[in-house]
Structure formats: structure tokens, C-alpha cells
Amino acid sequence: MTVIFASTAVPINFRNATTSSIITPAEFWSVLEHKCRNPAPFVKSITSSRVVKENRDQSGQITGLTRLVTVDEAFGIAEEIEEVAVIKRPVMVIFNIPSTGTVITNILAHGPNPIENPEDIYMVSTYEWNHPEVEFGSNEYKVLQAKYSLLSSQVASHTVAMARQMKIEGTLTDLA
């Protein structure tokens, strides 16, 4: 089976960010958890979603959820798609799409020196798209690889931009 991979890393804070505009790791994690429940503002192709199941550990922390998302009809999908999110607090969310085998991760990563520079954080987004009908290395494979790389970049960049906007508007504290 041919699997097409794509990944992107986007800095969350600008190098010369003012103290009031710096997003902390805890704040960005709250954005990722919020994105699990309400992905439409973060992923332009998703028009709606609803959470149908939540999993929590013994302390009450969310460890996963199942959601049904509706994708813009321009993407050729007319029905709801089930996505299962595994939440690995405070660093990673893994989204599995059982119907296609697609796996998407959103990772909160620190830079090389998290003790001295805790605001040096990144969103890493990875995608695994199954395409059994595509031959590895073919022209079609290369076109899809470019398409998925662009998609990964756009979604990660838009998620970070939304987090920055929420920080400016003071709505990050309202996500809990």
C-alpha cells in the first residue's frame, strides 16, 4: 500500500514578540484541545462537527474523543466523517480517520533549549494519507505529495494564526 506523508513545523511565537503577545505552552495546548472539539475555525475545509464520545482518565482529564465532521462539498465528500482523537496531554493529538486509514498529528514541540527559552515552541503537523491506487514515485504520487505538503502547511499555519488572534483578543482563557 502506498502511504503519502507530509509534515510541517510552524513557530508559535515570533522571535521579537512582546511579552503580552507570547503564547505559553499551556495556552497553545488549550488551543489544540479546543480544536479537537471545534475544528471548523482552524481547518478551512471543515464546515461543522459534533463530538459524539469523550474518554477521560481517572482524574477527569480528557484522553480522547470521537467526532463527526462535515467537509466542504468542494472536497467531494458529502457525508459526515468519523474522526477519533487520541489526546496525549500536553504534547500531541492524534486524529485517526477509520474509513480511510488517514492519520493526522498535531504536536506541541519545544525548541532546543526549553529551560532557558520556554516560549520557543512550534506546532508540528504530520499527515499519513493511504492511496493504494497510486504507485509510489509516480507522477500522481508526486502531485499528491505536493498537495498534502501544502495542506499540512496551510492547516498548521492557520491554527497558529488563530491562536495568535485569540491571544490578542484575550479569548485564550475562555477555552476551558
Residue in 169, 160, 172 with CA at minimum distance from that of residue 13: 160
pLDDT tens sequence across 92-124: 999 999 999 999 999 999 999 888 888 999 999
Cis peptide before 90 (omega within 30 of 0): yes
Q: How far apart (Å, rounded) are the C-alpha atoms in residues 35 and 104?
A: 13
Domains of the chain are 3-38+88-174 (3.30.530)
- Plot region of 8 (φ>0 → left; ψ -120 to 50 → alpha; else → beta): beta
Q: Note the pLDDT of residue 117.
A: 87
pTM of the model: 0.91
Q: Note the pLDDT of residue 1.
A: 79
Low-confidence ranges of the chain (pLDDT < 50): none
Q: Note the pLDDT of residue 16.
A: 80
Q: Note the pLDDT of residue 116.
A: 87
Q: What is the mean pLDDT of the chain?
A: 91
Q: Note the pLDDT of residue 75.
A: 59
Q: Note the pLDDT of residue 130.
A: 94
